[in-house]
Each structure stands twice: as C-alpha cells, then as structure tokens.
C-alpha cells in the first residue's frame, strides 16, 4: 500500500474520477475537487502532499491555482494536466513551479510515475527537514561536507556539460526561432547556474576556514564591499549611504572572507528591497571605546521586515524564504564572523509606519 494524500482537481468529472480510481487502486488517499475554489477550500481544511490539476477550467485555471497554492505552500508539489498540450503552456507551467506537466488523455503509467516521483520529492524534503531538526550544528556541518564532496565530484562535471550544451543550443538557434524555444534555453541556463551557486555554497559552508588574519582597516573592507555592488544598487534605484567612523582602530581580520560576508548581506538587502523605489540603505561603522572595546558594522535598509520568528532562524543552515536560495548565505556569514571572535544579529523596527531591518556585526578590539 502507498502512503500519500492526493487532491485531484478537474471540472470534467469523467477525468477526475478516472484519476481518483487509478490512484485509489494504488493505495493513495484521494479527494476530488471540481474546480480551483473548491480545491483551495479543501487545502485549507486538510493537508495534502500532491495536487493534480487540470489547466483549462472555468473561473480560476490551473496555472492560477498553482500560483495561489505556492503563495502559502511553496513546498506543495503540483502536477498540471491538459488536453491542449503545447510548448507555451508547458513553459508557463514550469515557470510557475509545476512539478510536472501531463498531456491528456492520460496513460495510467505516466500518471502513476509522475505521482510517485512527486511523492518521493515530498518524502525527501520531509526527511531532510527531520534530519535538520535532530542534528546539532557541528553534525550538520559534517553532513553538509559529505554532501558537498559528493556534489563536487558527481555533479560539477555534469552541470558543466549541460551548461555547455545549452550554450551550444543558444548559439545555434536561428534568429527566426520561436520565442518559446529561446525561453526554454534561457530557463535551462538559469537553473543550471542556480545549481552551480548552491553547490558552491555547500562547499564553502562545509570547508574548514584557514583564516589569514592580520591587523587591518575594517572601513576599507566595508567600503570595497559596497563599491563592488554599487552598480547593482543603482540599477535598482537604491542609494547606499556610507557613514564610516574614522576613529576605527585596526583589528585582526581576513579581508577576503569579511568582504564575502558584507557582500552577502548587501545582496540579501538588494533582493529584499530592490525595485521597490524610495527605499534607503545605510552602511555604518562605529568604534565603541567603553569597557568592552569593539567595532560595529551596521547595514540597515528601509522597506523590509523580518518576522520575530524568522529572526531566530535566518542564520541557521538551510533556512531560506527564497524560492531558489540555498539557505547557506547567512549561515556562512555567521560562521566567518564567529571565526573572527565576533557576533552577528538582525534587528527590526517599525516606527511611524517605516519598516527598517538592520544587520549588526560586532568585532572585539584587542587590548
């Protein structure tokens, strides 16, 4: 018997009941919905692992339903099906996060294979989440190291071949080629590059750091990080204000690794508020010459707000609210800062209707 709960959505009762019968015979728990609104109601009342939906339906169609589901359940696997198969429809379905795309009339084998693969992915995600909850941070690091070694050995060559083939197709595609074909090629290139970035993050997080620390100017490191991303901020109509304290004493630091930390945080800011307009980003350094001498780097932006619950998670490995994120960027930043004897935190405020998020990094100053 199979474990798995499936919601079947189709305005055609014959197709809906056929799918339900096939899946029930395989031991799945199946509920039927004749339309998108009924499906959303069912999803609000009961958990499902996979949604199987027709695309062409009166009122809200399958793609709109997919978007609505992923607003609140981004992890939900949705399989779309239609009798009007075509490349544009398939491209739209995949672009919006459909797990699979099936053409009617459905074959029993194709339907069951797609459902099994979707449920395998759901189960893999569940096991990963369970493992993350059980492992301590050092155990996670060891597990990630093993995965990173496997990825670097097994996947990098394959990804390079896929990327090379996609570039070849891009070059060979005639100027008269359809926009749909060009979009598919660009989607391949985009996803492969994303996988390469995730693989790189895994390897970076799992490796032991050999810090090359020497007395250095933290203001210079911060300034270089801002300059490296200045053009990207300009493209998003975001001005970066620098307030660098000239009193900062030199501290032992690895400028290369700290540059990565500040760039990572700035990229998070860019992704959070880029394109919103009328937002500001302030990068500030400060020397605190009190009992506990320290230097502080603050990176603040208006227009974004991290919930209290998420603030306790954002530096944990694998936590992400981004669709294509690895969940390791801020975990890497935390690890590097702590290797420097520092600490990092995220603070939020909402004063007079202005939401502000501040990443604060504190480094001790040796006596």
**Predicted TM-score of the model (pTM):** 0.53
Judge if 173 and 230 occupy the same domain. no
Model pLDDT for residues 255-307, shown as the tens digit of each residue: 999 999 999 899 888 887 766 666 789 999 999 998 889 999 999 988 777 87
Judge if 270 and 325 occupy the same domain. yes
Judge if 95 and 183 occupy the same domain. no
Given a cut of 70, the residues of the chain with pLDDT beneath it are 1-3, 85-87, 89-90, 132-156, 174-177, 206-207, 274-278, 322-326
121 belongs to a structural domain: no
CATH number of the domain residue 343 falls in: 3.30.565.10
Contact predicate 160/71, CB 8 Å: no
Residue where a domain terminates, one of 206, 226, 255: 206
Model pLDDT for residues 38-80, shown as the tens digit of each residue: 999 999 998 899 999 999 899 999 999 999 999 888 888 999 9
CATH number of the domain residue 200 falls in: 1.10.287
Look up the domain containing 223 and give its range.
214-364
Judge if 99 and 196 occupy the same domain. no
Judge if 23 and 143 occupy the same domain. no
280-288 vs 294-302, strand pairing mode: antiparallel
């Amino acid at each position: 018997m199979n474990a798995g709960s499936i919601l079947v959505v189709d305005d055609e009762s014959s197709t809906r009941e056929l799918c339900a019968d096939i899946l029930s015979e395989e031991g799945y728990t199946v509920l039927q919905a004749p339309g998108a609104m009924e499906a959303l109601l069912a999803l609000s009342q009961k958990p499902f692992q996979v949604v199987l939906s027709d695309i062409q339906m009166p009122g809200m169609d399958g793609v709109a339903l997919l978007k609505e589901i992923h607003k609140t359940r981004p992890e939900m696997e949705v399989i779309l099906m239609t009798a009007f198969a075509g490349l544009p429809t398939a491209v739209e379905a995949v672009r919006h996060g459909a797990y699979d795309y099936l053409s009617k009339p459905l074959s029993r084998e194709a339907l069951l294979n797609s459902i099994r693969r979707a449920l395998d992915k759901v189960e893999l995600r569940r096991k990963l989440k369970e493992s993350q909850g059980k492992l301590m941070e050092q155990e996670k690091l060891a597990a990630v190291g093993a995965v990173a070694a496997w990825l670097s050995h097994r996947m990098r060559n394959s990804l390079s071949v896929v990327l090379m083939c996609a570039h070849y197709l891009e070059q060979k595609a005639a100027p008269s080629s359809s926009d749909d074909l060009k979009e598919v090629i660009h989607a391949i290139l985009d996803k492969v590059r994303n996988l390469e970035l995730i693989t790189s993050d895994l390897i970076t997080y799992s490796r032991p750091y050999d810090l090359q620390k020497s007395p250095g100017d933290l203001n210079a490191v911060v300034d270089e990080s801002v300059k490296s991303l200045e053009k990207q901020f300009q493209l998003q109509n975001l001005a970066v204000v620098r307030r660098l304290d000239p009193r900062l004493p030199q501290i032992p630091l690895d400028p290369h690794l700290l540059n990565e930390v500040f760039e990572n945080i700035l990229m998070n800011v860019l992704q959070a508020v880029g394109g919103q307009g009328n937002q500001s980003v302030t990068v500030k350094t400060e020397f605190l010459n009190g009992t506990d001498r320290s230097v502080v780097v603050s990176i603040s932006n208006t227009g974004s707000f991290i919930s209290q619950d998420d603030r306790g998670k954002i530096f944990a490995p694998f936590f992400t609210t981004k669709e294509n994120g690895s969940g390791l960027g801020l975990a890497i930043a935390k690890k590097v800062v702590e290797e420097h004897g520092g600490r990092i935190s995220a603070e939020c405020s909402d004063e007079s209707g202005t939401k502000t998020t501040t990443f604060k990094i504190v480094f001790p100053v040796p006596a």
